[in-house]
Structure 1
């Protein structure tokens, strides 16, 4: 009996000693704190999303390639999580608030997954301040009066636990399997 208990204790400990596959940013990035406007037009804060793990991605709806590819990868992650996906929220924060209205964001994230994804926008100052907070780089091309311009931006996905603490950073080099595996650990640790 003691041998079994010892083995179980060892197994439980070894899970925590296993290194993360994603980049561990615990203690290196601030908690999930912001005041923005959700895709339903209502004000939200970081606290609005506590209780579930959050995958935070900075992008924009007119993005021709990286944003839809990243959102597609995040949909694969949710598929791999199965029922545990209910404990995850994707927050798509625009870096192009001039074009990305609440409705545009709602349509965009809804095309991927209206159940798990929320679009967030704000003023230029709010977005710029939040991007600096999480070290997100983005740069607007010269704005065309017709609205035809691109925004160069970093493509990392920030993983926050259910308490809103920054935990991991996923890049486009991380597979959906890798992200799902580490995310599952975050969910299990805080459920």
Structure 2
């Protein structure tokens, strides 16, 4: 299994966090993503001669299939089988995120618009890395503000979220409480793309444009048809 990210989680208010931890961790996550992308490109070059290259990072065979048992934003249990038959985009974030999460969701909305009728075969799963604050209702309101038709919010226990993050090499770090009792969660920002059979196929980063993501998604959808 190719390690894309190392899952990281620390308790809120940890006293030994150094200054500018946020900036340092974000830099580490970006470097880890770039290293993983480079590794994938090298490993997959030898086996991709018979088909045109993907514009996104091809992770076929290097990440496990889509599998989880969580709680949906309707408060009911849900597992990965509910999304079989759809091309599924998985993003780990949280509703109090000040910038990266809303920017990513807005970019994915642009992707859906570019897909046109093909968008009906796409689902976006927003999995929280902050289950303490992200209740099903909070997630429902958050994803619904972007797209109530295609997007679903998912939460679970700390253990469930940590286990799933490790499965897909997602890194996240609870930051120190501020004087008002609030905190941020630094997290990796990749979007994981699974085909209609639930196989991990592609990885999109914040440097990939909506046009690039839409092009590869359309190709995945046509392949499944």
- TM-score where L is the length of structure 2: 0.76
Partner of 1:3: none
Tell me if the contact between 1:90 and 1:118 (Cα under 8 Å) persists in the aligned partners.
Answer: yes
Partner of 1:21: 55
Could you list the per-position Cα deviations for residues 88-119 of structure 1 after superposition, in whole angstroms to 9, with x for gaps in the alignment? 00000000000000000000000000000000
Shift of 1:141: 1.1
Shift of 1:17: 1.2
- Asked if residue 105 in structure 1 is aligned to residue 131 in structure 2, the reply is no
Partner of 2:97: 63
* Aligned partner (choices 116, 133, 143) of residue 82 of structure 1: 116
Shift of 1:26: 0.4
RMSD: 1.2
Shift of 1:142: 2.8
Partner of 1:95: 129
C-alpha separation in 2, matches of 1:83 and 1:136: 31
Runs of 4 or more, structure 1, over 3 Å off, are 143-147
Could you list the per-position Cα deviations for residues 125-181 of structure 1 after superposition, in whole angstroms to 9, with x for gaps in the alignment? 000000010000000013469651000000000000011110000000000000000
Partner of 2:161: 127
SS at match of 1:91: strand
Bigger radius of gyration among the two: 1
- TM-score where L is the length of structure 1: 0.90
* Aligned partner (choices 151, 169, 173) of residue 185 of structure 2: 151
The answer for unaligned runs of 5 or more in structure 1 is: 1-15
SS at match of 1:17: coil
The answer for unaligned runs of 5 or more in structure 2 is: 1-49
Paired residues in the alignment total 176
Partner of 1:49: 83
Shift of 1:27: 0.4
- Asked if residue 167 in structure 1 is aligned to residue 201 in structure 2, the reply is yes
C-alpha separation in 1, matches of 2:212 and 2:92: 20
C-alpha separation in 1, matches of 2:149 and 2:201: 23
